[in-house]
Chains A and B, each alone.
Chain A
Amino acid sequence: MGANLFANYGEAVAVILFGIGFSNLLLQKNLIKKIIGLNIMDTAVYLFLAEKGYIEGRMAPIVVDGIQSVDAYINPIPSGLVLTGIVVSVSVTALMLSLTIRLYRRYHTLDLDEISTQLKKEGR
């Protein structure tokens, strides 16, 4: 264990949330809970990324009073990357939810294993 575990407590929490979301996506049987797991995983990655830009004692990267020195603002790059990531996450969630709606309308169940069994019964 390195020295920075408690200094990086935000990143540690983000990583634990990532693991929880990942296991939800893998293990849950209900499709809606899988999508929630996916969202937890993505949000955890954005927390992880946003933590990287923070520098103690400095302001948000919007220029006020014409001060443009490097020591006055936090790092703006991770915030920009998180903006892109959030849009990607929303798009993918919308796609997964519409797939779930189509499957539910046809098979009246949200359980992926049961849908496979019903497909086997229909005859592949």
Chain B
Amino acid sequence: MAFVQNFPFFSIVLSMFAGTVSSVLPQKPAKYLNTAVICIVGTMSAVLLGFTLQTGESFTYMMGHFPAPWGNEIRAGVLEAAMALFFCIIMLLSLLGGRKKLLGEVEITKHNLYYILINLLLSSLLALIYTNDLFTAYVFVEINTISACGLIMIRENGRTIEAAVRYMIMSLLGSGLLLIGICMLYDLTGHLLMSNIREAVAQIVAEGTYSMPLLVTIALISVGLAIKSALFPFHSWLPDAYGYSTVSSAAILSSLVSKGYVFLLIKIFYRVIGFSIIRESKIIDVLFLFGLAGIIFGSLSAIKENDIRRMIAFSSVAQIGYIYMGIGLGTDVGMIASVFHIIAHAATKSLLFVAAIGLTDVSGGSRKFIDLTGAAYRNKVAGVAFTVGSLSMVGVPVFAGFISKFLFANAAVYNSGKMLPALVVLSISTILNAIYFMKTVIRIYTPAKTDYPCITWKQEKLYAVTMVLFMILNIILGMGSQPIVDLIQQGLSTFA
């Protein structure tokens, strides 16, 4: 067994241990420890990705002295290593971009608690990516929820605490449904390890016993995870939570937290129940419909907004609708499009949030559009970054958003029943996205005479470097997307 195969386990345990150690450290060492841990975990994931690409198959890793159905295990393959590497990059860039605002908005004594939350969020995301056991997934989903709530309310004013309460209520509803679904699945199959459950489910479907409870169980788990990742009717907590929290929290929440749940749902579809059974049930159609509704509704609400951060948050609702539409298409090509969109959206949305804070800083802290007139001339780096993010969201070629829309349209063509609604909604949503994003870009580039201070890149070197790295990431995803799509395809083929 190669030493590289220990790396998933090391990543999870290292981030948890760093969280424990940060509880006794003051602010600065906790910050450096956190940055160091994210870099180390990223490097380990990159090495693991190289190893899995070389061997071409996924391996299981026993957590303890006992093999599969009696003990826990985790499993790593191409897709998992790629997602882990990618999440580390996004988390690092979001934290660097929001570091200065964090100093201003949060009390100094609570900074080490914030870094504990970030470390435990990283460990729970890694555990959700690598786990092969359903109950472990539930425990880490709870860690994810609690640390996301902590991230929202670290900036303590009335709006964030109310947003945190609404988030917790919706999220706990989802957790309750997920837990009762897992209990029923355990009752029907008798196993908690994912691969064993799949054999038992195949046997149940073949024999025809327990068909109705199986359908209800799949529905409960899907609805539970959909509530937690803010699919259309359950998105009411999202604009407040993303719009008012501190900027690195907003970037991490929008790009990583909801995507962890979607990835878990994809994993359950592939590894626990089997994609062919899912395709035959009607759950996929329901997810597809809600995805379409979410796209339209999110875009329309974003148009009406007058506050730049809430507008970006509503656009998140639409993008999560895209991902569920891709899952709902029910084909392998659709899944590849969804996973690519997870990556592209994470990169773009965090870029938009960090750029927006740069723009509002030079407008006297106000977030309304009328005060943001000409902000791009006062903070050139943020202006260019926001433009790049908007163009990517609309779907202009060269940027990442174009590739994901192209993959979605391509996937829709393969499924004859759902092709027409999917293509129609894709085109309408592109127009709607263009309306509100282009309006904002034109607004920030309209010259205006104001007394607000200008910020040059020399004054805020860390921020400028982070923005440039974000833009480079976006352009890499846009232009060099073919190897990444091949990687995802190879990963999904060994994912089951």
Contacts and interface: CB of A to CB of B under 8 A. Distances in A.
A43 B139 CA distance: 16
B139 A99 contact: no
A85 B153 CA distance: 25
Interface in A67-121: 77-78, 81, 84-85, 88, 91-92, 95-96, 99-100, 102-103, 106-107, 112, 115-116, 119
A36 interface: no
Contact of A103 (B165, B169, B186): B165
A116 B162 contact: yes
B168 A99 contact: yes
Given A91-B146, A122-B158, A41 B176 contact: yes
B176 A22 contact: yes
Nearest to B176: A41
B158 A106 contact: yes
Contacts of A99: 153, 161, 164-165, 168
B172 interface: yes
Contact of B165 (A31, A48, A84): A31
A92 B141 CA distance: 12
Interface in B203-254: 212
Interface string A1-26: 01000000000000000100110011
B180 A45 contact: yes
A99 B153 CA distance: 9
A119 B162 CA distance: 9
Nearest to A52: B187
B139 A88 contact: yes
A95 B168 contact: yes
Interface string B140-172: 001001100100010010110110111011001
Contacts of B145: 92
A119 B165 contact: no
Nearest to B163: A119
Interface residues of A, number: 37
A52 B235 CA distance: 34
A112 B169 CA distance: 11
Contact of A48 (B159, B161, B180, B192): B180
A91 B120 CA distance: 15
Q: Mostly helix, strand, loop or mixed at chain A's interface?
A: helix
B183 interface: yes
Nearest to B146: A95
Contacts of B146: 91-92, 95
B107 to A, nearest CB: 14
B275 interface: no
B135 interface: yes
Contacts of B142: 88, 91-92
B105 interface: no
B158 A119 contact: yes
Given A84-B139, A95-B146, A95-B168, A107 B183 contact: no
B161 A49 contact: no
A52 B180 CA distance: 12
B173 interface: yes
B226 to A, nearest CB: 16
B176 A52 contact: no
Contacts of A124: 159, 307
A41 B179 CA distance: 11
A31 B156 CA distance: 19
Contacts of B135: 81, 84
A106 B166 CA distance: 17
B190 to A, nearest CB: 9
A25 B171 CA distance: 11
A103 B192 CA distance: 40
Given A48-B180, A85-B179, A95-B149, A22 B162 contact: no
Nearest to A118: B158
A34 B180 CA distance: 19
Contacts of A49: 183
Interface of B: 135, 139, 142, 145-146, 149, 153, 156, 158-159, 161-162, 164-166, 168-169, 172-173, 176, 179-180, 183, 186-187, 192, 212, 307
10 tightest A-B CB contacts, nearest first: A49-B183, A41-B176, A88-B142, A99-B165, A45-B179, A45-B180, A102-B161, A52-B187, A115-B162, A106-B158
Interface of A: 2, 18, 21-22, 25-26, 31, 34, 38, 41-42, 45, 48-49, 52, 77-78, 81, 84-85, 88, 91-92, 95-96, 99-100, 102-103, 106-107, 112, 115-116, 119, 122, 124
14 contacts: A18-B180, A22-B173, A25-B172, A25-B173, A25-B176, A31-B165, A42-B176, A52-B183, A92-B145, A92-B146, A92-B172, A99-B165, A100-B165, A102-B161
Given A52-B187, A92-B142, A122-B158, 19 more contacts: A2-B212, A21-B176, A22-B176, A26-B173, A31-B165, A38-B176, A41-B176, A42-B176, A45-B176, A48-B180, A84-B139, A88-B142, A92-B145, A92-B168, A99-B168, A103-B158, A103-B161, A116-B162, A119-B158
